[in-house]
Amino acid sequence: MARPTPAERALYLFGLGSSSILASLANAALLLFACGAIVLEAIQRLIEPAPVAGLDVFIVATLGLVVNGFSAWLFMRGSKEDLNVRGAFLQMAADAAISAAFAASGLAILFTGWSRLDPLMSLIVVTVIVYGTWGLGRDAMRLAMAAVPPSVGMARIERYLAQLPGVRDVHDLHVWALSTTENALTVHLVMPQGHPGDAFVQGVVTTLRRDYSMDHATVQVEFGEVCHTCVLHERGHAH
C-alpha cells in the first residue's frame, strides 16, 4: 500500500487501513457476482443441454482441484484473523469445490451420458459458495459500520479494566476495527484517588495491545465527580 501524503494524513488520522475492509466487501461482492453468472449458465445448460466430453472434463477438473485445493490450504491458517485472507481462502476453496464437482460430474457423464448432471452440480456448488461468501460480506459490512470485531471479547476487556487498582468504574468503552487486522479502543476510567501517572496508563495500553489485540488504545482517567453521559448512549446506541 502506498505511503499516504501529508494531505492524506490530515484527512485520514488512523491511516488508510480501513481500505482493507472495503476490499473485503468488494471481494464478497465479486464472489456473489461470479456465483450469479454460474447460476445463469447452469440454468441455460439445463434448458438446452449440450454434449459434454466426460473424460476431458474429469482430467482438467482433477488438475484444477489439486492446484486450487493446495492454494486454499495455504490460506486456511490465516483465514480466521484477516478478512482479506479469508476472502482469498474462499476464492481458492470455491474454485477447488467447482473443480471437484466437475471432476465428479465428468466421471459420471463418462459412464452414464447424462449431460444435465454437470449444470446440476454447478448449482449445488454455488449454494455452498454463497453460504460462505454471505458470512464474509456480513462480517465486512459490520466492520465497515464500526461494529465490535468478532474476535474481540468486550466482556474480558471490561473485566480487566474494572479490576485495575484504583478503578471504581469503567464507562464509554468503545471498540472498532481500523482495518481487517487492527483494532482501536477508547475508554474512561473513574479513579477517585486521581491520575496514577503515565506509567500506569502506558502499562494498560501495552496490556490491551498484547493480550486483547487493541493496536490503538486511548485511556481517559476521571475523578468521577461529574456524572458523564456518553453522547452515543443518549442517542440510543450500544457501546
Residue in the block written with cell 485495575? 164
Residue 218 has a pLDDT of: 92
Q: Which of 190, 188, 169 is nearest to 231 (CA)?
A: 188
Cell of 117: 448432471
CB 89 within 8 A of CB 72: yes
**Fold category of 154-234 in CATH:** Alpha-Beta Plaits (3.30.70)
DSSP annotation of 79 reads G
Can you give the residue ranges of every domain in the chain? 6-144, 154-234
Q: Which residues of 4-21 are buried (b: 16+ CB within 10 A; e: fewer)?
A: eeeeeeeeeeebbbbebb
217's enclosing H/E stretch is strand 216-222
Classified as helix, coil or strand, 34 is helix
What is the pTM for the complete model shown?
0.65
Angstrom distance (rounded) from CA 148 to CA 173: 11
The domain made up of 6-144 is a member of CATH 1.20.1510.10: yes
Helix 54-76 / helix 83-112 crossing angle, nearest 10 deg:
160
Give me the phi and psi of 190, to 5 degrees please: -90, 115
From edge to edge, which strands make up the β-sheet containing 216-222? 169-177, 183-190, 216-222
Classified as helix, coil or strand, 1 is coil
Centre a 10 Å sphere on the Cβ of residue 54 and count the other Cβ atoms it contains: 21
Q: Per residue of the chain (239 residues), what is the pLDDT tens digit?
A: 566 666 555 566 666 677 788 888 887 888 888 888 888 888 887 888 766 666 776 777 777 777 777 767 766 665 566 666 666 777 777 777 777 777 777 777 777 777 777 778 778 778 877 877 787 788 888 888 888 888 888 999 999 999 999 999 999 999 998 887 889 999 999 999 888 889 999 999 999 999 998 999 999 999 876 665 555 555 444 44
